[in-house]
Amino acid sequence: MDNSPQFTHPTRNHPFPVQFSINFLDPLGMLNEKHRPFTKHWRVALEQKVKQADSEHWPGALPRFESFVKKDGLSTLKKLTEKGANANFILLLFVQYMWVDDNKIPAHESDSPDKKGWEQMLDAIQITKRATAYFPTKFTDLVLNELSLRETSIRELFLTTKDFRKSKKRPPNDKVNRTIFTIYEHLKYKTGGPQWAHLLELLRAADAVSSPAGAASPDRRVKSHIRSFERDHPEEADFIKERLAKEDFPPWFIQNRFSSELNPSQPTPGK
């Protein structure tokens, strides 16, 4: 039996690829009222959940988490948490998305299994349209029209975006850029600013950026990822700014509002 978290496919009001949104349906629900960020109990629970995530659905998370710890990533994250950020929200993006092996969640969406699935669906629609036209009934025009609408919707939503163009010599790392953009917007909302220096330290520890210390100003080094994501994913960028970065999750995106569960000191938005 497949025990993987369940998800829905992208729509205009749900712009994210399933590999991103799926992890919010099975969050790092590792804490209760006793486990507040950076306490001893929290640290133990976190390590247990990372091991569980690595062994079950998100391979690659554990060695990258261990590297993050060795590079003092948790210390930097604690500094951001003291300014108002949600440590669990940020770790969720790393553990169940960015740190996952590329063969499970591709770095480039042109390699995404979702793309193949949508292409197969278009092939199925074409076959259905031919069969419908070959055996006409009084409903043929209605059915063909509906199928054409579905076909157009799939192409517009998921197959004609810049992400899948094979002509790019160096396609952007969608997985890394999406993570950076989300954390950047989260920090702006929660702490009153992007906290450039701490953000760059955090991203270095997480292996999201590779520049050595002092190689470039923090904002310049991170902004290239932010601009790339906004350019290639405008609908996602808008949704992240308006909802996701604020931990304001609509019903279709998450089954339980995990932000207050994981970080009881921060109330759930809208309550």
Residue type, 169: K
Residues 6+ apart with CB under 8 A from 33: 264
- Kindly tell me if the per-residue pLDDT of 122 is higher than 80: yes
Q: What percent of the chain has pLDDT over 70?
A: 69
- Judge if 236 and 159 occupy the same domain: no
In a domain, 257, yes or no: yes
| Average confidence score pLDDT of the chain | 78
Give tens-digit pLDDT for 1-52.
444 433 344 454 556 777 777 666 555 554 444 567 898 888 888 898 899 8
In a domain, 51, yes or no: yes
- How large is the average pLDDT for residues 123-146? 92
In a domain, 11, yes or no: no
- Judge if 92 and 185 occupy the same domain: yes
- Judge if 103 and 197 occupy the same domain: yes
- Judge if 222 and 118 occupy the same domain: no
Give tens-digit pLDDT for 241-259.
988 888 766 554 543 333 3
- Judge if 40 and 96 occupy the same domain: yes
- Among 196-200, 216-220, 226-230, the minimum mean pLDDT is found in 216-220
| Structural domain that includes position 216 | 18-108+174-262
In a domain, 116, yes or no: yes
- How large is the average pLDDT for residues 87-110? 86
Instruction: Give pLDDT, residue 66.
Output: 97
Give tens-digit pLDDT for 182-205.
999 999 999 999 999 999 999 999
In a domain, 193, yes or no: yes
pTM: 0.74
Number of domains the chain contains: 2
In a domain, 64, yes or no: yes
Confidence of residue 225 (pLDDT cuts 50, 70, 90): very high
- Judge if 25 and 145 occupy the same domain: no
In a domain, 124, yes or no: yes
- Judge if 68 and 200 occupy the same domain: yes
- Kindly tell me if the per-residue pLDDT of 228 is higher than 80: yes
- Judge if 23 and 39 occupy the same domain: yes
Q: Report which of residues 71 and 261 the model is more confident about.
A: 71
- Judge if 114 and 104 occupy the same domain: no
- Among 119-123, 153-157, 242-246, the minimum mean pLDDT is found in 153-157
Instruction: Give pLDDT, residue 244.
Output: 80
